[in-house]
Amino acid sequence: MDRIQLLDDIERYLRNEMTPAEKYAFEELRQGDPDVDLMVVEHSLFMHQLEMFGDQKNFRTSLHEIHTDLASKGVIKETAPKAIIAQLWKKHRRVMGVAASIAGITTLLIAGISTYYSRKASTAELQVLSKKFENTEKKVNALSQQVENKKVEEPKAPATPIKSGGTGFLIDGKGYIITNAHVVEGSQAVVLQNNKGAEFRASLIHLNAQNDIAILKIEDADFKAPSSLPYSFRKNGAELGEQLFTLGYPREEIVYNEGYMSALTGFNGDTLSCQIGVSANPGNSGGPVFNKNGEVIGIINTRQTQAEGVVFAVNARNIFNAVDSIVKIDSSANHLKLPLNSQLKGMDRVQQIRKIADCVFMVKSY
Amino acid sequence: MKPDQQELSLLEGLAKNDREAVEVIYGRHFPMVQSLIINNNGSSEDARDIFQEAMIVLYERSRTPEFELQCQLKTYLYSVCRRLWLKRLAQAQRYIPQVNGLEETIPVEEDVELHEQKNLEFQMMEKALLGLGEPCKSLLEAFYIQRRNMSEIASSFGYTNPDNAKNQKYKCLLRLRKLFFSEYKINTV
């Protein structure tokens, strides 16, 4: 009981609730009794502890209340605990985003580039194909046109004013010259050049595109025609396998070639022409084809582009027809007559050529 | 960076357990701590515990007369929380050598140590109170913690008069003291 009284006194002492007299008496007691003094110290510590405990407990309670309060007000948000993956995601979201976009851009870029280039390549291929096709088509067209029009490619002489060039030869001693129609077709002027380099102007007398035959007349006064032609013309043409030779101007120089009769008809069974086995080049057009007796059996006009050594010549019969048609129209040409007897029969080839060469001209069409 | 005037007044309020001040501090700094904890293997419950612990540290420190805040409240709370969370992780054997966070920190080890000591005492007191049993516990809590006056306590607890209640309280207090000091001696020796 007195212990409780003492505790009450200590408490009141510590709380300063004692009257000065009581306080004095208590301090006397405390100084006199060490047990009481110890008890005061202990109690003071204990009260402090208890007070601290109380405060902390109150504070904890209020913190708890505040937390609930703020959470309900939405001032603070309680985030749900996240899974590791979610955490990793959140942590590396930016890096992953950047990486993903880089990857995406790269993929798109590569895809774009590859598509672009592959498309380009395929179109190039197509173009190549189409070009090839075009080429083939062109060739086929050209070929059919060639056959139709009896045309060959013409050499383009280095002196560009010349539109086309070919070969021509005299058909009589008065300056009439025969050549292919396609050589002189569409030209403003025609100049002939002999094997010595002398040039003569000529005018177009007759043109038959169907048979690919043109007849020119040399105008120049200084042209000295041979009194008679060394060669002749043979209406019936040649036999299969007959030896043939040609003269022409595929270059600036007169060129000799020889071969044989390959077929009696021309391209696709054309009976107006025949096939001969000689090598011919652009520029040979309009050149005479002779048999071994020096008789003209045809005029070279085309060659098959896809085949080697397949050359076609207009039959000599067409020359007769052409001359006939001239004579009918132009009375001044009624003296025109194709020689039928060759002076070259039995001569050796070199001799024949020496004689013929003077009568073969380069035809330059301007 | 020194705390500004507003923070100092908040701190004053905190020391007095002023509801408004505590609410302001709580609302302002909890989200930061929460993101720290959650980004470092914790849950929002962990975040709440840690933050409230840190608030108590700050509260205790703010009540000591020699305490002077040398940095912003934010930095202080962040540092304490970081320290506490590291300790928590270490205890849970989930030690992560580096707690990630970009906030500025200050050394708070001393404060945390001090707090742990106080926490120990708090737990001893709590244990002692629990060991005391009813109605002593409620009676002592009503008087010493809720600070209600004796006559009010007497009527609510059903004592015939305040003196009886007072006597009962002293008896309880003596028992509590005995329990507390026995615990205290075990823990301190």
What's the pLDDT score for residue A87?
A: 65
Cβ separation B39–A87 shorter than 8 A: yes
The pLDDT mean for chain A works out to: 79
When pLDDT is averaged across residues A3-17 and rounded to a whole number, the result is 76
Contact B174 A54 (CB under 8 A): no
Per-residue pLDDT averaged across A222-251, rounded? Answer: 85
Mean pLDDT to the nearest integer, A233-240: 85
Q: Is some CB atom of chain B closer than 8 A to the CB atom of A125?
A: no
- Partner residue facing A49 (CB), from B52, B125, B171: B125
Quick one: average pLDDT of A234-257? 87
Please answer yes or no on whether B19 and A62 come within 8 Å at the CB atom.
yes
Q: How many CB pairs under 8 A join A and B?
A: 103
- The reported pLDDT for the residue numbered A103 is 94
Residues B93-136 pLDDT 10s:
655 656 666 667 777 778 888 888 888 888 888 888 888 777 78
Say yes or no: B93 and B77 in one domain: yes
Residue-level pLDDT at A122 = 47
* B41 chain-A contacts, CB cut-off 8 A: 87
Can you give the residue range of the structural domain that contains B120? 112-188
Tens-digit pLDDT profile for residues B9-24: 888 888 887 888 888 8
Under a CB-based contact definition with an 8 Å cutoff, are residues A66 and B19 in contact?
yes
Residue A300 has pLDDT above 60, yes or no: yes
For residue B92, the domain's CATH number is: 1.10.1740
Q: Which of A1-5, A190-194, A264-268 has the highest mean pLDDT?
A: A190-194
Q: What is the CB neighbour count within 10 angstroms for residue B154?
A: 20
Task: Note whether B139 and B100 are same-domain residues.
Answer: no
Burial class (CB in 10 A: 0-12, 13-18, 19+), A243: middle
Q: Is B170 on the interface with A (CB under 8 A)?
A: yes
pLDDT in tens, A115-149: 888 755 444 443 333 333 344 555 556 656 655 55
Chain A residues touching B115 at Cβ < 8 A: none
Interface of B with A in 91-130 (CB under 8 A): 118, 121-122, 125-126
Interface contact A4-B56, CB threshold 8 A: no
Q: ∠ CA(B30), CA(B35), CA(B38), 5° rounding?
A: 120
**A322-331, B74-83, B175-184 — which one is most confidently predicted on average?**
B74-83
In angstroms, the separation between the Cα of residue B94 and the nearest Cα of chain A is 14
**Residue A231, CB half-sphere, CA atoms under 13 Å: how many?**
31
Q: Does position A319 have pLDDT exceeding 90, yes or no?
A: no
User: Chain A 43-102, CB below 8 Å of chain B: which residues?
Assistant: 43, 46-47, 49-60, 62-64, 66-67, 69-70, 75-82, 87, 90-91
Closest chain A CA to residue B57? A56
A56 or A81: which leads in pLDDT: A56
* Model confidence at A2: pLDDT above 70: no
CATH number at residue B178: 1.10.10
Q: Are B93 and B124 in the same domain?
A: no
Q: In the predicted model, is pLDDT for residue A151 greater than 50?
A: no
Which has the closest alpha carbon to B157: B165, B149, B145?
B165
Of B23, B56, B122, the CB nearest to A70: B23
pLDDT of residue A311: 85
Contact A81 B118 (CB under 8 A): no
Cβ neighbours for A188, distance < 8 A, ≥ 6 positions apart? A366
Residue from the list B19, B31, B173 with its beta carbon closest to the beta carbon of A7: B173
B42 plus B121 within the same structural domain: no
Sequence-distant (6+) residues with CB within 8 A of A275 are A261, A262, A263, A264, A265, A266, A267, A310, A311, A312, A313
Set of chain B residues whose Cβ sits within 8 Å of the Cβ of A81: 38, 42-45
Stretch A62-89: mean pLDDT: 74
- pLDDT value for A156: 36
Residue A100: band (very low, low, confident or very high) from pLDDT cuts 50, 70, 90: very high
How many domains does chain B contain in total? Answer: 2
Query: From residue A222, how far is each of A170, A201, A218 by CA, in Å?
Result: 16, 10, 10
Residue A275: is its pLDDT beyond 50? yes
Q: Are residues B18 and B57 in the same domain?
A: yes
Statement to judge: residues B102 and B62 lie in one domain? yes
Where residue A272 falls among pLDDT bands split at 50, 70, 90? Answer: confident
Looking at the structure, tell me whether residues B83 and B121 fall in a common domain: no
Predicted local confidence at residue A110, as pLDDT:
93
How confident is the model at residue A154, as a pLDDT? 43
Distance CA A230, CA A345 (A): 10
Q: What is the pLDDT of residues B137-173, one digit of tens each?
A: 888 778 777 777 777 777 777 777 777 777 887 888 8
Interval A87-98: pLDDT, tens: 677 778 888 899
Residues B130 and B169 in one domain: yes
Which of B78, B107, B136 terminates a domain? The answer is: B107
Residues of B whose CB is below 8 A from A3: 174
User: Is-contact B116 B128, C-beta < 8 A?
Assistant: no
Nearest-CB residue to B27 (from A59, A63, A76)? A76
* Mean pLDDT of the region A238-249: 89
Q: Is B78 on the interface with A (CB under 8 A)?
A: no
B42 and B24 co-located in one domain: yes
* Domain edge (last residue) among B85, B107, B129: B107
**pLDDT above 70 for A81:** no
Tell me what pLDDT residue B98 has: 64
Residues B97 and B162 in one domain: no
H-state helical runs in chain B: 5-15, 19-38, 44-63, 73-91, 109-132, 136-140, 150-157, 162-188
pLDDT tens column, A22-58: 888 878 877 888 887 887 888 788 788 888 888 888 8
- A176 — pLDDT class (breaks 50, 70, 90): confident
How does pLDDT run across A193-224, given as a tens digit for each residue? Answer: 888 888 888 888 888 888 888 888 888 888 87
Please judge whether A4 and B22 are an interchain contact, meaning their C-beta atoms are less than 8 angstroms apart.
Answer: no
